[in-house]
Amino acid sequence: MDINRRKLILTGAAAAGASIAFPSLVWGQAQFKMKCANIMPADHPLNIRLTEASARIREQTNGQVEIGIFPSSQLGTDADMLSQVRAGAIDIFVQSGLILGSLVPVAAINGIGFAFSDYAKVWQAMDGPLGKNIQAAFLKSNLIAFDKMWDNGFRQVLSSSKPIRTPDDLRAFKIRVPPSPLWTSLFKSLGSAPVSIPWAETYSALQTRMADGIENALATIYFSKMYEISKYVSYTNHMWDGFWTVANRKSFESLPASSRDIVVKVFNEAAVKQRTDVEKLNGELAGNLATKGVQFTKVDRAPFQEKLRHAGFYGEWKRRMGDEAWSLLEATTGKLA
């Protein structure tokens, strides 16, 4: 096959893929065009609901506002995109609070190990006073955080080498964690050897054995196909992780006030629908993953939390988060430190 023909086919395939999943990427005639980026797979409910939201916003603003959705780290790694949204090169960034914590430390607080026991408590805190406190902190960095977070889910350990049953199994275990001080601290305190790797490089890190395992929610493991290389899931539920929508303040405030209200309202509604999608998937996917050869292990979580306590994890993070945010967290979770 000559080079031109090959190139044509490749370009054609890429374009077809993009146009099926993301018709809005063909920019229309809108007066305001905004880029909304994230690291999640294109077919994860986060991007399905964002795409719907984008269409609804176009409709409700009579075509004035067009929000292009860029999934799968298309616009860069976690750190790249955070710089871009601060500079206004990306208008809206949807990202895990723990990773945004490198800029706004309190945004990581929902990831404190074993803090949340169930979804009712998660939403009570994040839609309530704790969430408001975090939104105010984002604003100080000129980022407007929308009210409703998106769900990533309760995270489980996924191992390539052996099932993890006890904290002892984690000893010296090279676990990939996202670039975030809290994540590294959590797994160090559990006795493992965390390696901090951006999400976009995680699949190959597992493949090349740079990491023995990862930890994530079942839906994310499923849509990113991590089960192809890692087969043991342990139900640690060690943290709840969710995504904030943060908009560059200057770029967001350049929209007419009426359009801003529409954008916030539609994003909030989409996030609430996405929560239902993800909770359902995280509950149902085990059967599907089992047919792909994944083995599931139930674990007793108490010794893991005990280990964290012993290592001084809760005391350290209480200090780092500050009394105000910590007491807002404990108002929902009960005493942690």
Report how far residue 148's alpha carbon sits from residue 100's, in angstroms, rounded to the nearest whole number: 16
163 backbone dihedrals φ, ψ, rounded to 5°: -70, 140
Query: Which residues are 159's β-sheet partners?
Result: 213, 232
Which CB sits closer to ligand X2X, 177 or 329?
177
Kindly state whether residue 96 participates in binding ligand X2X, applying the rule CB under 6 A: yes
Query: What's the closest the beta carbon of residue 200 comes to ligand X2X, in angstroms?
Result: 9
Helix (H, G, I), strand (E, B) or coil at 37: strand
41 binds ligand X2X (CB under 6 A): no
Distance CA 66, CA 34 (A): 6
Looking at 71, 76, 178, 194, which residue binds ligand X2X (CB under 6 A)? 178
* Binding residue for ligand X2X, selected from 199, 240, 244, 313, defined by CB under 6 A: 199
CA distances from 255 to 27, 247, 333 (A): 17, 12, 38
The yes or no reply on residue 138 touching ligand X2X (CB under 6 A) is no
- For ligand X2X, what does the binding mask look like between residues 214 and 253, x meaning CB under 6 A? --x---x--------------------x------------
Q: How far is the CB of 95 from ligand X2X (least distance, A)?
A: 7
Closest contact distance (angstroms) between CB of 206 and ligand X2X is 12
CB of 42 to ligand X2X, least distance (A): 13
- Size of the residue set binding ligand X2X (CB under 6 A): 9
Whether 278 and 152 have beta carbons less than 8 Å apart is answered as yes
Residues ≥6 apart with Cβ < 8 Å to 33: 27, 66, 68
As a whole number of angstroms, the distance between CA 37 and CA 300 comes to: 37
> For the chain, give me the number of helices (H) and strands (E)?
14, 12
152 lies in the site for ligand X2X, by CB under 6 A? yes
84 binds ligand X2X (CB under 6 A): no
Binding site for ligand X2X (CB under 6 A): 39-40, 96, 152, 178, 199, 216, 220, 241
